[in-house]
Amino acid sequence: MLLRARPHAGLDRGPRSRYLPGTMSRSPFDGTPGEPLRALILGCGPVGRATGAALARRGHQVAYRDVVAAAMADLPADNGDARDLVYVCVGTAAAAAGFDLSAVRAALAVAAAVPVPGGVHGVVVVRSTLTPGACESFLQAGLAGRRGLCYQPAFCREGRALAEEDAPAAIVAAVDGPATACLMASVFARFPCPVHWTGFAGAETAKLWANLLNALKITAFNTAAAWAEAHGDDPAVTAAALAAASLAVREPAYGTRPGTPFAGRCLPKDLEAAGAFAAATGLPGAELLAAMKVLNARTAAVAPVATDG
């Protein structure tokens, strides 16, 4: 079945992918695996290599480009051919004022100039980590209508990038219109996992907070272990007990619904008292607990319905 999308004519360039809400294993655009495509990978770090390998294993023709020749020593080089898909997999540096997206901007300009095969809808797929608003504030404009835009952030771990990109737990993707959705659905259909279609800001935020959630969890376990250790108990045994008993670990879906008021009998009371206790006794984490109280008070004010903590 031919799944090549038509060129840009008639493409709905609405600001969000409203037409693809929620989680679907198949998109409303069918999602049948399409014909093999020609893909170019820009940036040959762990994410670019893993992205290219996963596509090649699914029958797509993949070439690579990197500004550092040594980075692509063992990879098939780009020869300037037209490409259906151009993947931007360059690094996102951390800068003093936040994230530095200059490499993404530069790669996007290169991607926009890659020829699109005649009669098809070409897409730039950004895999680099972005900040919320980046796609709508400058990435879409940077493509100047020459290709569609898909943001498909990478959630893999560096040491396991090849395996995790080949068999991801889930794909999160945002697109700029039906033609891009159609093409990407045909690509995703070759991956055996659910696809979460979001708006651009949703995908940008989910990527950043996936990392921050890991950081928050590690922080909680390190801090709890330090409290036990400060009172002479074994930090590793304490952390293991916490992992076994905690609702947040035992039930992965617990606490994941946004806007849920932070109420009930235990959470606000224990959070407040634990923060005061840490501050008074010099245990670590008082600032974190105070910040949690402030952030959740905001949620409770927006949705003042009591739930059991």
Ligand X SMILES: NC(=O)c1ccc[n+]([C@@H]2O[C@H](COP(=O)([O-])OP(=O)(O)OC[C@H]3O[C@@H](n4cnc5c(N)ncnc54)[C@H](O)[C@@H]3O)[C@@H](O)[C@H]2O)c1
Would you tell me which residues interact with ligand X (CB under 6 A)? 42-48, 65-68, 71, 89-92, 103, 106-107, 110, 127-129, 154, 156-158, 161
Name the pairing type of β-strands 148-151 and 171-175: antiparallel
**Residue 150 C-beta: closest distance to ligand X, Å:** 15
d(CA 127, CA 140): 15
Q: Quick one: 43 or 168, whose CB is closer to ligand X?
A: 43
Token pair for 233: 């108990």
Q: Quick one: 121 or 127, whose CB is closer to ligand X?
A: 127
**Residue 41 C-beta: closest distance to ligand X, Å:** 9
Token pair for 28: 């409303």
**Residue 63 C-beta: closest distance to ligand X, Å:** 12
Q: Quick one: 123 or 182, whose CB is closer to ligand X?
A: 123
**Residue 202 C-beta: closest distance to ligand X, Å:** 17
Task: State whether the Cα torsion 52-137-207-90 is positive or negative.
Answer: positive
The residue at minimum Cβ distance from ligand X is 45
Could you give the strand order of the β-sheet that contains 171-175, starting from the edge strand earlier in sequence?
A: 23-24, 195-197, 171-175, 148-151, 123-126, 85-88, 38-42, 61-65
The CA–CA distances, whole Å, from 17 to 147, 179, 228 equal 16, 11, 48
Helix ranges (DSSP H) in 231-285:
235-245, 247-250, 267-281
**Residue 216 C-beta: closest distance to ligand X, Å:** 17
Q: Quick one: 6 or 157, whose CB is closer to ligand X?
A: 157
Reduce the DSSP state of residue 258 to 3 states and report it: coil
Q: Quick one: 109 or 295, whose CB is closer to ligand X?
A: 109
